[in-house]
Amino acid sequence: MSDDPDTHDAVVMEDTRRWVQRAVIGLNLCPFAKSVVVKGQVRYVVSRASGAKPLLADLKRELLALAGADPAALDTTLLMAPDGFAEFLDFNDLLARTDKLLLDLDLDGVLQIASLHPRYQFADTDPDDITNFTNRAPYPTLHLLREDSVDRAVAAFPNAETIFETNMQTMQNLGTVGWAALEVHARVTPGDDE
């Protein structure tokens, strides 16, 4: 990997876009994703943070930017942190602080934050359980969403409450070999550009 930070960030964004296209949209894991991608309403941002405090600073900046943007131009943000949080539990522990930040910024109920991670693991599952892959992105990622957009999407989607179960079945049908064939893995690992 190049020592150039711009090259590093470009690869992270390209990997994430490929994952969105092939997994999120391609497998229909999020039935609402295609329209915002097609309209160019997704912002991809790379945080070079390797710890909680700098990532929270980047998150604050992105939350304020999303809240202040015209929804027709910017609907959602993916904030990737490829240089830290290799362990899922460390990343998961950060989520209480991200929720507190939403409250501190008076954005609770306006925006929400979803988490994605290359080693994402639902409670009471084995680490290699294929159903965990519904939330596995190439890099530790915070997905910033507008509550209004989520509400509209859910209202327009028949049986939105079944998405989770449908995704679990999709992953079980796909299996680990099928997931690997999607080639949605990270090409940058922490320290790659050091």
> What are the boundaries of each domain within the chain?
5-181
pLDDT higher at 126 or 161: 126
Helices (H), ranges, the chain: 5-19, 33-38, 52-68, 88-93, 95-104, 147-156, 163-181
Edge-to-edge strands of the sheet including 111-116?
A: 42-46, 76-80, 141-146, 111-116
Output the six-digit token pair for 7. 């090259």
Residue 191: is its pLDDT beyond 60? no
Distance CA 57, CA 122 (A): 27
Residue 1: is its pLDDT beyond 60? no
pTM exceeds 0.85: yes
Distance CA 46, CA 57 (A): 13
pLDDT at 94: 94
Q: How many percent of the chain have pLDDT more than 70?
A: 96
Distance CA 14, CA 8 (A): 10
For the chain, the residue count is: 194
pLDDT band at 190 (very low <50, low <70, confident <90, very high): low
> If we measure between CA atoms, which residue out of 147, 153, 161 comes closest to residue 113?
147
Distance CA 49, CA 42 (A): 21
Q: Is 134:26 a contact under the CB 8 Å cutoff?
A: no
